Every structure is written in C-alpha cells, then in structure tokens.
Amino acid sequence: MRIGVNLLSLSSDRFGGVEQYVTHLISQLVTTDKNIKLFLFLTKPYRNLFPDYQDRIKKIMIKEYKVYDSIHSFITQCQLDLWFSPIHKSYIPNITVPLIATIHDVLHTAYPQFVDGDLKENNAYYERFAHSFDAVLTVSEFSRNAIAKNLHIPKEKVHAVYLDAPPVFRFLSTDVSKEKIKKKYSLDEEYAIYPSSYNPHKNHINLLKALVRLRDRYEKRIPLVLTGYTFHRNRNYQAVLKFIQEHELEEQVKILGYVPPEDMPSLYSNASFMIFPSLYEGFGIPLVEAMKAHCPIVCSDRASIPEIVGNAAIHFNPEDPEDIALKVLNMSDSQIRKRLIKQGIERSRMFSWENCAKETLNVFQHVVKRDVKR
C-alpha cells in the first residue's frame, strides 16, 4: 500500500499533542507493516522530524502549501493508493484517491471563543471537505461522538484510535536520573505538576485560584511546577504571570517553560501528583504520561479526560476553584496516592503506539479494499 501523508501544515509546537501523534505514528506504521510505503509531503523546516527507512519513507518537499496542482500531479506520479491527512484543518480539495482524515477534537464547537474564527466559519470549513472523507480517525470515543454530532459525519465513518505517551515513558526513571532532574530544575521535595500549553482551555487561572484558596482558607501550601512552551506575546501566559504576581505566588509556582522530552518522566516521577484542570481534551497525552511514570492524578471531569483515566484519578469540576482545592486536599493522603498509582499502572497498559498503528492500518486497509471493489 502506497500512502501519501499530508504534513504540509505541520507547525512546530515544541512537541505538543499533534506533533507527537504524527511523528510516533509514522515511525510505528513502517515497523508494523513491511508492505507499506509512506510518501511524506513536507515543507523544508520539518524534514528532519521524521526518520529515513531506506526506500519505505520518501520525503517530498513542497515549497508552497497552496500549490494544489503539484500535489495532484505527485499523487499520480507516486501511484498512491491512499491520501492521509493526520493534521486537522489541513485538507486539500479534489483528491483523486481514497482519503482518510484525522480530526483530533472539535474544541471550536464547545468553546468557540477559544479558537480563531467563529463557530459558523469553522463548521463551514469542515462542511466543505467532510463529504470527501472516506473515513475519519479520531483519538477517543468522546471525540468520535462529538464529531458525529457537531460535524454531521456519519458515526460509522469515524474511528476512535487511542494514542500513547512518547516512547521515553516506557522506561522507569532511576533514582539517579530523578535526583539529577531535581537538581537541574531546583525542584522542591514535594510538588504538583501541570504540563500544558498556555491555551485558554487549559484553564491555568482556575488552578491558580485553587492554590490561593488552599493557602488562605485551608493553610495548605502546594508547590506547583508548570511546564510548556512559553511565548511572551501569548495573552494567556501573560495572564498567568500577572495572577501569580498579584497573589504573591512567586515562591510557590515554578514555571519551567519548554522541557526536553527526555526530562519529563523524572519530572513526573518526582512529583507528588499531577493536576490536570483542562476544560477540553480530545485525548490528553499527559494523562498517559503520568500513569506510565507512576504519578497519581487529580483532574478535570470534562470532555475525554474521564474516558482516558478511568478509575485512576480523582475528578473535579474545573470551573470551580473550591472543588479543585478540596480534591487536591485528598492528595495529601499517601494511601490515596498509592491506590491511584496502582490503578494508573494498570490503566496505562491500554495505550501503545503499536496498537495505534495496527488499528490505523486496519482503517487504511478497509478503505483501500472498499475502493478496489467499486
């Protein structure tokens, strides 16, 4: 099977969820099935994100994303059996072979104020292309249901395939590596961690409000470590900095910014727990990271989050700082943390890039075989 992979709208987000999805899935696809050949349609800055597997991964460099004519001619020249768009809102019209698209979530339908463009405009984009999708991949049953309901794509066309944590999380942190990371980032002996971008739905301010309540009402000071790429023009990041300063949380909240993937397992392992107050996730890779790193979780009860963690977490209402604070207080109990760690280890076995690749290939093969029969 010869598969064209549309990566033309890929943008570096410091190893955020979409970038993790495409890089790990592509690597796993070629090791799972020796009979496929991938043609990666890329722009030059992202050439080195992907491995070379001799003749099984071919990189096709496109200078301008808008040059549709060259894309269509390459589809013919490469004799593609399938066109795969794993990055949502990256679709190209008039594709002449079967087309599978990944839609990670429909955040715009739940929180239109958090995304560029209004609800009508964003829905119109999907309406323009949805009829051309032979199948849609997504990352949770929550997203599958939301896509079918809000984008009016038949549910039988939408397939939920779980993701996984980065491969580095396969290996438990040693005491030596944990101590090294503790010194590198000057970490407290005990702390909570929240790994996240500074997008509005990540809900940092309500988390910080909960910290203030814990300190002022319950006399409980929780050191918090925030990771995630920081950009000084990001309004949400600036709002976080302002809140920290106004509420005298400078000594309590440590902002690490972007942390290399290889350091993250020890950051989780050293933490007392992960707190995850996100309002909306299509999947939520940090949840799996925490479970695989033996880090107990207290988290939001919204969107896909309960589906991913199952019983391996304590849940709160992410819009209620008081509820966040009360649930965080539960994490002071070592027996509760031990129980959550045990349940998280068990739950984490559900997630693997091997399974992700196998299930994705099943969808590919079904669509190609169906097209041959037409």
d(CA 359, CA 371): 19
The length of the chain is: 374
Mean pLDDT calculated for residue range 41-53: 77
Give me the pLDDT at residue 14, please.
47
Judge whether residue 201 has pLDDT over 80: yes
Q: Which domains does the chain have, with CATH numbers?
A: 2-164+353-373 (3.40.50.2000), 167-348 (3.40.50.2000)
pLDDT band of residue 51 (cuts 50, 70, 90) is: confident
Mean pLDDT calculated for residue range 337-355: 97
**pLDDT one-digit tens code per residue, 230-266:** 988 899 999 999 999 999 999 999 999 999 999 999 9
Contact 146, 103 (CB under 8 A): no
pLDDT band of residue 268 (cuts 50, 70, 90) is: very high
Contact 42, 8 (CB under 8 A): yes
Mean pLDDT calculated for residue range 275-289: 97
Mean pLDDT calculated for residue range 103-130: 94
Task: Give SS3 for 276.
Answer: strand
Mean pLDDT calculated for residue range 331-342: 97
Give me the pLDDT at residue 55, please.
79
Where in the chain does DSSP place strands (E)?
2-6, 37-42, 57-61, 82-85, 99-102, 135-138, 158-160, 192-195, 224-227, 253-257, 273-276, 297-300, 314-316
Mean pLDDT calculated for residue range 186-212: 97
Give me the pLDDT at residue 171, please.
87
Give me the pLDDT at residue 64, please.
63
Judge whether residue 114 has pLDDT over 90: yes
